[in-house]
Structure 1
């Protein structure tokens, strides 16, 4: 007895399959549809399409068909009893969807293969979410690399500029004493040219590390904070930190560079997580105050002493291991906020946590 006969003689079995909340299909020994349930019809966007006796691989995108054809043969011959696949299918109006397939060989009481049973689910949204997460993770990695490069560049420039200023001063004295001698004049001019070329290069490095553009697009500040939290999601979970959000509605817009503001928020949130090694709560609050938007990023961590609070924005100041931290995170964030026409301050007490308050002008456009 073949699978089609079995299905026709058992209407209750069909009724049960039609109640299922996923696509179910049965193929005969020729690999053609014998039965598809109601959900399968809905999944492919058609309630009146006659799938019976048609080739299921016609529903698969062309580039996947041959691979699945070989898989189907293995199920029909019994060399592969059951397996799960991820593929792409074509709905009746040409729309492509991502699907998950669970396929198994069907045997009768004598152990003979009489067909194939399959389950299909639309996982398009899940795949898109995973792709979006991957994109954000890649973006987070890039931001971290750029931020590290910026911190390194700033440190290198700082170390170069000190001796460079000394060289400039000595060169000025040397030029006054020996510059009138013709034999020395050309050599001193060449030295002077190279010194000022180095100074120009260090300025360019600083401009790259800390952009100073003032022509910014309008940004949704709440959306920007949500994206930043998404980028920090893995680290937040690693620190066992709970996130609390209180955002004004509708969200205000500011004029800003998304990269620079994200870098500032990432630095602040990273510091907050570091202050809560045993877990805690990270709170983000946004409200409109006059013509400004105020962003408060708070933690329930170890807090900061009054003495250290005075130096919190000083470049290269850090209470952490100097071998791992350069102490530039908050100073870079402060510079970014200042460059956006805003203000930034920190409120903190030891053992009572810290709160970074950022004020930015609301966009008038």
Structure 2
């Protein structure tokens, strides 16, 4: 075929290096060409004569017949003389080598190594320029004597270079030999120092190979209660507690396979007398006498382990004592919550009970008697019914005070948040009126009930409302809002009081912290609220700016599906 046609070619590759032949074959076949191979010039000449390839790519330096002789013989054969020929060589890479190849009739001379893609691109460019069966240039060497002269010059120059390289190699060998002798001396000295170091080391040192100890220092043998000679004949398995043997075997395996380069781990060992000891080893992979091995250090940590066990025992005892003390503190906290509740409403409860309970009962009896015995006008009877009704309302108020004053049962039950808020607001009504404070209730419809200890939750609402009232020093408004927030009920108590300074926000829930005068506050109200809400798995938040009031939001988890009407 014609090269200009761009179709597949039959290419003969001649090279004694099989890897180079494989590369050129791959490049040619990937581009759709057929490939023939030969390992030297003589074989290449036979393949060319038998197959008449479209292109020949040949190395220069080959056994039996080199590339120059191969090309010379091709040009003598009328059937082969016009086959394009490309040299691809690494050894014959000098200018005179290239000139000799071109003067023998080669179309191109490519120097190894070359990027495979660039190599084949250059071959295709050469092929397109040359064309099939193109007439051979007239500047070729025709006289045998001329050829032999130039060929001998190239070979002689190459031989001279090889001799120079050989002399340089001999000089390098002498230098290397001297360096090697010095290295041997240094290694011998290093080995002596290593032995001196390990023999005096306070930690055990060992080399393990094929499950046997190849080297151990005196300290290593001492740790296990053996002499170096006694332990030298034993397997490492003889010194390890059987339960820990799989751990050791797995670590050794990983080191030898380079899955782990180095590391340390604890294990339990057995001394010669059967005593259990605790050890810590650090090891890594090495080469010992030409074979993979494990080199490592060993430390006896038995004393430290016993100290840790004693410390753990003391820690366990301390935890028990802390738990017992916690129970005591919880009991004390329950008593304290009750005492705080009594302190908060003591005066109000005693005053109302004393001033109203007995007289109220007398008034109610008299009014009932009037109602039953005296005939009244409709208007008078309506007023009398209203008075009886208001008397019963006062009686309920006194009963609410008594319920609030009663000690907590400590049991959680379903409770109505709105009813609890209304009960506490009733208790605070008189105090709010005295302080010129009005209240606004924004209650959510059908708010779910919660499972809680009612009197404790009332205590939280009472403390927050009292704090809001104290903050409204010149009167104001307290807004109570409720809503459902996912699986929790939210109660927000907002006042229009003096607010809280930013630097005090993080401290207001701490016990005994207060900004009130000593006669008005103990610093325990908000701390109690925080503790109660936390014990109910809830959350209490505060938002405030000085002069703009404060909002305390209590979030308590919903229990059950019942909802307030």
* TM-score of the aligned structures, taking structure 2 as reference length: 0.32
Q: Which has the higher contact order (CA 8 A, sep 6+)?
A: 1
Greater share of residues in helix: 2
* TM-score of the aligned structures, taking structure 1 as reference length: 0.48
Larger Rg over CA atoms = 2
